[in-house]
Amino acid sequence: MKSIAIYPGTFDPFTNGHLDIVKRAAAIFDKVVVAVLINGAKKPIFSVEERVSQLKECLKPFANVEVESFDGLLADYMTKRNINVAIRGLRAVSDLEYEFQIAHTNRMLKKDMETVFLMPSAKYTYLTSTIVREVYSHGGRIKDMLPENVERELIRVYGG
């Protein structure tokens, strides 16, 4: 039986920390679906289509990883795709309470769902999409925070 997991997120922008989690998940599971959330409550830098395209480009080296987008509840999407394992990254203890709430809520919605928490490399424990946006908006250096193609797109869209 093939092991399949989903790694959901807004990924706006997709960081090297996200990439590190994908690498780890791809080494554990036969297939990993990176699912870009369409979240109307957030004001993204990139459109869903742009994020999917960026992720497809930087995840090409992983034959067992696919990228798509979804809208609505993760539990519903996982049921539709017949996937029972969700991947979540934990950077620090501060992430734990929120992620546990989400994991337990998802399990209430989808009884057979499991959440696997993966820690990124220590050098990415501080890195969030919010921090990248903040640093970039003030002219700070983002070179080691994003995959090259995502950094290029950020500079193309918003100037260097």
Catalytic residue among 24, 51, 91, 110: 91
The two tokens of residue 112 are 């057979």
Catalytic residue among 42, 80, 104, 123: 42
Mark whether 138 is an active-site residue: no
* CA neighbor of 6 nearest in space, from 28, 31, 24, 23: 31
Mark whether 141 is an active-site residue: no
Mark whether 69 is an active-site residue: no
Beta-carbon neighbour count of residue 102 at 10 Å?
Answer: 15
The answer to whether the CB of 126 falls within 8 A of the CB of 132 is no
**CA–CA gap between residue 73 and residue 34 (Å, rounded):** 15
Mark whether 156 is an active-site residue: no
Residues serving a catalytic function are 18, 42, 91, 129
